Amino acid sequence: MKIVTVVGARPQFVKAAVVSRAIAADPGLREIIVHTGQHYDRNMSDVFFEEMGIPPPHYSLNVRSLNHGEMTGRMLGRIEKVLLKEKPDCVLVYGDTNTTLAGALAASKLHHPVVHVEAGLRSHNKRMPEEVNRILTDRISDVLCCPTDRAVRNLRAEGFDAFPCRVVKTGDVMQDAAVYYREIAFTKSKILRKMGLEGRSYALCTVHRPENTDDPARLLSVMEALNEISRETEVVLPLHPRTAKMMRRHRIRPAFKPIEPVGYFDMLRLLQDAEVVLTDSGGLQKEAFFFGKPCVTLRDETEWVELVEGGFNKLGGAGKEPILCAYRDMKRSRPDFHVDLYGNGNAGRKVVEAIRLLPGH
């Protein structure tokens, strides 16, 4: 059985590492990896393949940073050519990026079954391109691998029980990755020593969502909040290339020194010792939970609503004062991180089991 996996962005490399390992363990499956190039910086792409043992891509499409429509369209055409050549039994896509939607569309138009990992998530804000991507990808998918009970309920509420598809709760593959790579990161990463952070308190932060980076007022107020936090504790901000570009364009200068993007092992190591996490990343919100770290989400809503409901996460939006208020609240919080929200670390195997149940296989 031939599976074409389409990836292109940093969070997808983490998820693919888990499922690719499960696919490789099944002698009846063969995987062809397609990298669209959505994240093409070495620190955002190559280092993940090297560190996590993901097989090198069979196809690199080199679709670099473009506007959403042009990027998705160019990916769609190039993925279609790969699928016409490979004739896979199914196409596997992850998450909610332009790569996700392009892969699903190309497969659906050629009548290849689509398997969507991380299906059913909703932030209910269609101004976010990720929300549009996940809604459309879910609707044309044949197997929807949901990370949580809430994701399953979201699909049922949208009428998916009446659609010709299969909805499966697999758990979250990112939890598999955190469990598998935690000790490896502790051993291999030297970032704390390199940065002089050993034994010191710090807040770990990431900012990369277009809703924050493309709006100068939001980006400025987020940075003002981080500047205020940096006066009482160190702020570690691996700076996404797009964020760096927009900060230069609008002459936004932080009062602390951001660092270059880091690999997955370094990020896990930074998470292990952080006091608080502040992020607009969906993936990092969950990873903060996996590592027992209180989190402030730098957005007005989140698709991971169970984290907010359980008190593990607080929405800070992009205003300086709301972020500072959320940060102080989360520093004082003591939630019980032993709650099982995302499965028991077997999501990769369950995704493969779901693929195996496709008709004709």
101-106-110 Cα angle (round to 5) = 145
* CA atoms of 14 and 209, how far apart (whole Å): 18
Amino acid found at 39: H
Q: Of all residues in the chain, what percent are helix, strand and coil, respectively (each to 5)?
A: 50, 15, 35
Which residues are tagged catalytic? 208
Rounded to 10 deg, the angle between the 98-109 and 129-139 helix axes is: 20
Amino acid found at 55: P
Rounded to 10 deg, the angle between the 173-188 and 347-356 helix axes is: 140
Whose structure tokens read 């900012």?
207
Q: How many residues does the chain have?
A: 361
Q: Is 136 within 8 Å of 46 (Cβ atoms)?
A: no
Q: Is 122 within 8 Å of 304 (Cβ atoms)?
A: no
Question: How many other CB atoms sit within 10 Å of the CB of residue 360?
Answer: 6
